[in-house]
Structure 1
Amino acid sequence: MKTNPLVLRRLALVAAALILIVTVIFVFLRTGPLAPIKVTVAQATQGSLNPAIFGIGTVEARRSWMVGPTVAGRVLRVNVDVGDVVKAGQLLAEMDPVDLDQRLAALDASLARAGSTQLSAQAQVQDANARHALAAANTQRNQDLARQNFISPGALDARLQEQASAEAALQAARANQSGAEQDRTRLKAERAGLVQQRGNVRLLAPADGVVTSRDAEAGSTVVAGQPVLRLIDPSSLWVKLRVDQGRSAGLAPGLKGQIVLRSQPQTPHPGQVARMELLADSVTEERIAQVAFMQMPVNVSVGEMAEVTLQLPTTTPALLLPNASIQHQQGQTGVWRLNGDKPEFTPVQLGSSSLDGLVQVLTGLDNNDRVVVYSEKALNPGARVKVVTALAAATLAGKP
């Protein structure tokens, strides 16, 4: 029996169409919108964390000084340069004293004159004392004579008037003496103040240190409080650390850690939190702490960037998950837990986290639960997923 070629051709076309339809459906289900979402998973396991706090800071000096004049003036000379080591009390620079020396000479002359005036007042007091004593003696004799009627009452009144005049003259002499002493005291105070001003033009080192900046040269005019030189104590260097407020739990004085300077990335230096700042930065949302070096490193520079890692105490055992598995859905923090082969969003309560990417899960999961770490696109409850060992970097989705 012969087969009709037309029928064979139609059967071949139908078979080819069926194969094509099956192929399209297979490709559509494997790589199209209905294809399962590739995910990587992790299993919740019991363990302890070694949490740490990480932050970036700059090297600063705990003790630094700005040396400058207390009044406006012109710089006469600068005796030191940047990098020089200075001792406490060393003359660093000097301001032009202008007329201070002449004013001191004028005050010295005024003091000498005040001394002469004071001596003259003392002599006047002595003379007034003598006149008063003589007048008192004469009055006493005349009173005795008047009681015996040897002199008239008018003569006694004259002696009494002489005694009163002598007393007034004595009081005036004493007042002049007191005024002369006060004038001399005033001149001494003015001279002491002028001497202090003259001493202020000599800029002395307040402590042992190193010159870090020379901000004015000879001939420059500076205002009061403007620094001519800046000094630091090189043994007081520490790191001004900034830590994200959300990750600063446990930050406290005495916490030990490692400091890695930008110029010495392979050499960690031990450090310890010396002080916590009471004021945080509300703009950058950071807390500020000062971390001191346990041993001062060599060739460290002020202003250098540093990375600080502070070690916290080991936590109690709890469920641990990769931090990348944590997601946020509708204001809730949770994970995509695999219920069989279907993902479902499970809210969890988190604890401490470590710098190696692990986080504690306090509630919401059981031991050995599988959760999605990475997915090639956003997940939905009940979505079809396919567990793989790794995803290409370009296809990662749903990362925290």
Structure 2
Amino acid sequence: MRPKRNFTGVVLVLFLLAVTLGGCGKNTAGQVETPRVPVEVAPVKRGNIAQLARVTGIVQAGATVQVMAASAGKIKSVLVDVGDKVSRGQVIAELENSDLEARLQQAKANLEQARLGLDQADARVKQAEVKAELDETNLKRTQALFEQGAASQQQLDAARTAAAVSQEDLAVARAALAAAQAQVAAAEAAVRQAEVALENTYIKAPVSGEVAARLLEPGALAQGAVVTLVTSGERQVEIGVTEQDVNYLQPGREVTVEVPAAAESLKGRVASVSPAADELSRLFKVEVSLVNAKPAVRPGMAATVIYTTRQVKNALLVPKNAVIKRGAQDVVYTVVEGKAAGRVVTTGIADDKNVEIVKGLTDQDSIIVKGQDFVSEGQPVEVVNGGAGA
């Protein structure tokens, strides 16, 4: 920031000096010479740019997780008690599932039967192929003998009939093979469905933590949470994001978290995203786990979660401060024949330093990057950094 203040001071001094000297003399035409404003120019560059979003939340210690069954059913057993430590993926309860186990065994038996049928159909196809090949060879041999007068018409007709029948039998065998393959595929799908249904009867801990409450007992219907888990000591930040940003925050994505009170900037990872927005705020709740948070990061501290939203590669980029607001328009200044020339531009996304130019400039242009606040259209300027105007 110090170089920018020095440049601004230089601009003011040179501008006032130019005005003073200009007022003391006239040019040969008898007119007061317009002072030149010193400026610096730089070429428009191409590069990648990413727009950052910043959302403030509060640091929390751990998280409360309501563990629910993935399917409806009656609870067979609850395998944990209040105070127990559990690991992610550990089975903590089980639903009645004897009927599903039987269904899985039946599905596996059907699959074995289907595979046996497939093997038989494949064998029949191979036999039919051999028979068809032999009958075709016999037909060709009989045809040759008939042409030599060594075989009768009746023998030729019989060979032709046998070859035709063999081809029909082969077609039937191949159709049966295709049907058997379809049966195997359907049986495999049935097994997978039965396995998933059975797997859903085992209620597993989605995170590691401690059992804070045991809410349902054996014999009850699995409606609502079965147990409540509290994660142990992991720092998290809860934020609310808009519908425009929620899809940029998928679980597992890494973000940056700044905690000013602790003078910490650390990594975070999206732990969970609510499936629906809050009815009042219209914001989506997002839980961000802090990675390797130091003891100085305490619950209750304000934290800012920073994440990338839109990204553009090979964009036209200019410094943010080079773009000047002129009414409702965004303008940058170039230098044409020693004078400032405004160019109306359309901007895109921006980061901390640069802004994307969507329309109004090319990568062959150079623009004023210092002194632009002191010029107007047609203002004589002097390039003081060795750059050349357009």
Given the two structures, how large is their TM-score scaled by the length of structure 2?
Answer: 0.47
Which protein is bigger by CA-based radius of gyration?
1
TM-score when scaled to structure 1?
Answer: 0.46
